[in-house]
Structures are given as C-alpha cells and as structure tokens.
C-alpha cells in the first residue's frame, strides 16, 4: 500500500505541476501564435484523437448505452467547449495567475449548485468557506488593472470566472452519466463533442494559428506540443491513480500546486508582477476552498442521513452525482478539485 500511495502522490503532483505550467504555456501562445478560438479547436481535436487512440489500447470498460454516449457528446459540445472557449479568450486578456485564481473557484460553484438545486445542506463551515473564497475572487476582479501584461484585465477575469461556472455546471451534469461509464469512454465522447463545436466555430470564424504556418518557429511549436501532450492528455491519465489511493483533503492540497506553479513561473518569465492584492486573493480562495472541502469530508463521514437532515431523497441524488461510484471513495468535490485547471 505504501508503494501505491507513493505512486498516487507522484501522479497527483506531476499532474498538478503540468496543469500549472499549462497556464503559462497558453499565455505564451495566446494570441500571438494562435487565436483563442483556434487554440480551443486544436486542443479539443488533439485530445479527442488521443483519447480514442488510448481507448484502443486500454483495458475494455463496461459497455455504454447509445443514449449515454450521445449525452456525453452533447456535454462536450456545450459544457466542455463552452468552458474552453471562455477560458482561453479570458486568459488572452489577463495574466496566468489571475486565470488560475478563478479556475480554483470551480469547487465553490459546485457546492453552490448542490445547495440551491439539489438541497445539499448549507452548514456554517461551508458558508464561511464559500464566503471567504468569493471575497478573494472579488478582490482580484476589482483591484487588477489593465497593463502591458493584461490587455483587458477586467474582461479577462470575468470571462475566466464565467468559464469556471460553466465547467462546474458541466461537472455536475456529467456526474449523472459517470456513474455508468468508464474514464476513457467519458474522455473520448466529451472531447469529441468539444472538438465538433471547435471545428464548427473555426469554419465560421477562420483558423488563425501562425504557430503552424511557415516560416516554421521551433519554440512556439514546442510549447504547443507540451500543452497538447502533457496537460491535455497525460495529466488526465494520471488523475485516477491519485484519486483511488489518496484522501479527499490530500487531493485538495495538491490542487493548490496549480496556483503555486503558475505564480512562480509567471514571475520568473515576466508574465505577471508581484501584487499584494493578488496574493491576498490567492490565500482567501485557497483557505475558502479548503474549509469547504474539510466540511464536506466530515459530512461524508457522518452516518447516513445525519448530515443530510431533512432531505430524505438526497442520498439517491447524491449517488448519481457522487464519483465514488466511479473513482473510488472520493466525494464530488474531490473530482472537481482534481480536474480544476487541467484544461
């Protein structure tokens, strides 16, 4: 078990480091070497092809109904591509650190969706954690000014914020299907749907990717290959290992590596400047997400029905939304935290 835990920790750490570097790599590429919309098309199409190829060499998964395949495809068409669209356009206008701040809010949006639409109990620790995280987001939005590193900071930050909301809705919606399908099946069909949307949009708006045109430029092409191979593909293959053997709170802590890596690399590369307000925003969001995650872990540890109180129908709903039916013992927020920033 020790070896398994070591493997899980290494898998999660590598995955999150790749995700943090993903922010900086994309910022380098956008919009000089490719437009945000073209970038979304390239990433989704590459990922779709990669996961279909991986699926051919992977162990067979449970047979998926045609209905679930179509639902996954449609989730990719709307949810996954919608997230990618908003995030890349937002990142092109703001800094990698700010974009990663708003990506970190995805677990908060998931809890709010669960509270308002699925009658999840809003305990005091969760409310405090959500409030702290939202204060951090507000600080970042209201204090960051546009400059040579962020052409339109307010618009970029708002787009990144909306992208995290869209992705949270996508995650909650997909959980109903994920209880019945395998990870590779999910990735194949959702990315195929996202690629379909990307290709349609590119046919309308045009394909703008100087990185793939002549004269050939090795550095931007190498950065693009890094984005496509490591954060887009390999990170997703490493996640199940970490989720299977690590506790929820440990996975949550690894999620902070994205912010740490993106911040350090941004400062080194000159993609951002040190700001106390941004530092406070990061601390507020990290503390807020962690408090909510700890509260959820305690709720899951209570006897059935105790933490859900007056909502007797919730356990059935939670079964559909809980990836423990698929990933192991991790509650919904574990999967959300593990995926945040992967794109």
Structure confidence by residue, pLDDT tens digits, 226-267:
999 999 889 888 877 776 777 766 776 787 888 889 999 999
Question: Which of the 8 DSSP states describes residue 213?
Answer: S
pLDDT at 86 over 70: yes
Q: CA-based Rg of the chain, rounded to a whole angstrom?
A: 19
* Average pLDDT rounded to a whole number, residues 300-329: 39
139 vs 131: CA distance, rounded Å: 12
Return the SS3 of 58: coil
Contact, 86 vs 160, CB < 8 A?
yes
* Average pLDDT rounded to a whole number, residues 89-97: 94
Closest of 149, 132, 97, 135 to residue 258, by C-alpha = 97
pLDDT at 224 over 70: yes
Question: What digits encode the pLDDT tens for the residues 139-170?
Answer: 888 888 888 888 899 999 999 999 999 988 88
Contact, 187 vs 237, CB < 8 A?
no
343 vs 335: CA distance, rounded Å: 14
């Amino acid at each position: 078990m020790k070896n398994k835990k070591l493997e899980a920790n290494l898998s999660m750490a590598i995955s999150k480091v790749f995700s943090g570097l993903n922010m900086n790599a994309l910022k380098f590429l956008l919009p000089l070497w490719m437009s945000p919309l073209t970038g979304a098309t390239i990433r989704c199409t590459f990922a779709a092809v990669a996961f279909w190829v991986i699926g051919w060499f992977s162990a067979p998964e449970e047979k998926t109904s045609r209905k679930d395949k179509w639902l996954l495809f449609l989730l990719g068409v709307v949810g996954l591509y919608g997230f990618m669209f908003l995030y890349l356009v937002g990142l092109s206008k703001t800094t990698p650190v700010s974009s990663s701040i708003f990506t970190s809010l995805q677990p908060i949006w998931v809890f709010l969706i669960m509270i308002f639409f699925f009658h999840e109990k809003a305990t005091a620790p969760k409310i405090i954690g959500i409030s702290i995280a939202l204060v951090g987001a507000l600080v970042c939005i209201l204090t960051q000014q546009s400059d040579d590193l962020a052409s339109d900071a307010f618009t970029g930050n708002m787009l990144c914020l909306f992208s995290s909301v869209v992705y949270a809705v996508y995650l909650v919606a997909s959980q109903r299907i994920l209880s019945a399908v395998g990870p590779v099946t999910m990735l194949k069909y959702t990315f195929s749907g996202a690629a379909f949307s990307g290709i349609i949009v590119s046919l309308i708006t045009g394909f703008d990717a100087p990185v793939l045109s002549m004269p050939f430029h090795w550095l931007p092409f190498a950065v693009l290959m890094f984005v496509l191979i490591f954060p887009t593909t390999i990170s997703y293959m490493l996640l199940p290992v970490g989720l299977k053997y690590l506790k929820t709170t440990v996975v949550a802590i690894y999620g902070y590596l994205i912010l740490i890596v993106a911040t350090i690399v941004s400062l080194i590369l000159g993609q951002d400047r040190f700001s106390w307000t941004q530092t406070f925003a990061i601390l507020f969001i990290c503390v807020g997400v962690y408090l909510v995650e700890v509260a959820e872990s305690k709720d899951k540890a209570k006897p059935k029905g105790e933490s859900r109180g007056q909502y007797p129908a919730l356990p059935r709903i939670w079964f559909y939304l809980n990836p423990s039916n698929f990933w192991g013992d991790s509650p919904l927020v574990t999967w959300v935290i593990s995926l945040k920033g992967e794109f």
